[in-house]
Amino acid sequence: MSNVYQVIVCSCPDKEISEKLAHILVNNQLAACVNILPNITSVYRWQDQVETAQEYLLLIKSMKSKYDLIELVIKDNHPYELPEIIAVSIDNGSSEYLNWIATCQI
């Protein structure tokens, strides 16, 4: 199976932004599914300071061919100056599930 699937990780400041992004991505057939994981604690360096924030984490399941549009949607609808947008290739998975991802994005 060719490597055409991805999970994109994106942290968000609150539930409202998380749900807004998830709905935009799924409604526009850019993602088959977006999981929203609440109550994560992020520790990171920003502008020479160590920061701690409570955030929500999006796990966006999609085709690699949709990456550029997904990145654009996130940047256009995210309040952070530099939102986290990290794509991870899916090397293996249930063929039925991966086919479902593809059929949701036609």
Binned at pLDDT 50, 70 and 90, residue 2 comes out as low
Answer for the pair 26, 33: CB distance below 8 angstroms, yes or no.
yes
Number of domains in the chain: 1
Name which of 60-64, 85-89, 98-102 the model is least confident about: 98-102
- What's the chain's length in residues? 106
**Hey, is 60 helix, strand or coil?**
strand
* Domain encompassing residue 26: 5-103
Q: What is the pLDDT of residues 93-104, one digit of tens each?
A: 999 999 999 998
Question: Would you place residue 105 in the very low, low, confident or very high pLDDT band (cuts 50, 70, 90)?
Answer: confident
Residue 1 has pLDDT above 60, yes or no: no
Q: What is the CATH number of the domain that holds 24?
A: 3.30.70.120
Alpha-carbon distance of 99 to 37, in angstroms, equals 24
Is the pLDDT at 90 greater than 90, yes or no? yes
H or E stretch including 68?
helix 67-77
